[in-house]
Structure 1
Amino acid sequence: MQSDKIEKRIELNAPVSRVWRALTDHCEFGQWFKVKLDSPFVPGQVSRGQITYPGYEHITWEVRIEKMEPERHFSFYWPHVQSFEKTGKPADYSNAPRTLVEFRLEPIQGGTLLVLTESGFDSIPADWRPEAFRRNDGGWTEQMKNIESHVTQNP
């Protein structure tokens, strides 16, 4: 197992343009990812919102959009905090280590190959890196199913 990178692949029965919209329209992204975002995605800008996934509603979602190459590549950096416990105050992401999340789209017969990569786990302190990796690996498995359901149910 590689400790610095997660990769997930899924073949979606939807055209590249449909998958692109599900990834990069902040309202659609929020529907399948389960986050209520404040504003559209803009390269170089921070995007924030409130997680709506049951049990995680106390977490503010924050990323810095890196690239948006239409219908090919969408990426962002997101911070990692050691704990998601409820503390009554928002997480301080200012000095948190960050990983790069990339979505790559390729047209295939009958739809789109979506490849997700999250890299940079070596920037997370060694004592909590395995937990961060495990948590995100499982999360991305679920999120790939979520986007598949989203584009299938909302053509």
Structure 2
Amino acid sequence: MSDRIEKSIDLNAPVARVWRALTNHEEFGNWFRVKLDGPFVPGELSRGHITYPGYEHVVWEARVVSMEEPRLFSFTWHPYAIEPDVDYSAEQPTLVEFHLHPAGNGTHLSVVESGFGAIPAHRRAEAFRMNDDGWQGQMKNIKAHVDG
């Protein structure tokens, strides 16, 4: 198993449009299916609740690492941390990076999530599998959001 997940997609939207979809907390929530409590702020914790059916009980929590407009948005989080009675705070979080590059009249977007090797062994494979599938779906979601 790899230590990282990498996905990419070409979007029919300019970089500025994709940047807004990633970094505006309300737009991010629309395509990512999460209701966030407030804007993304580098160095700050972002909180909310998943709105995807079946996961509404899950608290979404990520610490924004960087917002380098218009090329890099990143945060750390605890991957596939869905059990409400489990305290994941002692675990090393993974790093999620969104990279944007102009591609003709559109944008090439890639997402890299790294650090799975530090996830406790008893949940590492499942967290990797679920996030690998999840990022595939999220690439389709953002494409529908910005291309539509």
Q: TM-score range by the shorter chain?
A: over 0.9
1:1-155 to structure 2, matched below 5 A, reads 3-80=2-79, 84-85=82-83, 87=84, 91-153=86-148
Q: Percent identity?
A: 61
CA positional deviation for 1:3: 1.3
CA positional deviation for 1:127: 2.4
Q: Can you list the C-alpha shifts for 1:82-134, whole angstroms capped at 9, x where unaligned?
A: 6x34x5x5x53422331000000000112000010000000101222111100
CA positional deviation for 1:81: 5.8
Task: Write the letter of the residue equivalent to 1:127.
Answer: H
2-structure distance, mates of 1:116, 1:31: 18
Gap regions ≥5 residues in structure 1: none
Contact 2:79 2:131 in 1 (8 A): no
CA-based RMSD of the aligned residues comes to 1.4
Q: CA 1:96/1:80 → structure 2, altered by over 3 Å: closer, same or farther?
A: farther
- With structure 1 as the length reference, what TM-score do the two structures score? 0.91
2-structure distance, mates of 1:26, 1:81: 20
SS of residue in 2 equivalent to 1:128: helix
Task: Write the letter of the residue equivalent to 2:2.
Answer: S
CA positional deviation for 1:7: 0.3
Q: Can you list the C-alpha shifts for 1:7-37, whole angstroms capped at 9, x where unaligned?
A: 0010000000000000000000000000000
The count of corresponding residues between Structure 1 and Structure 2 is: 148
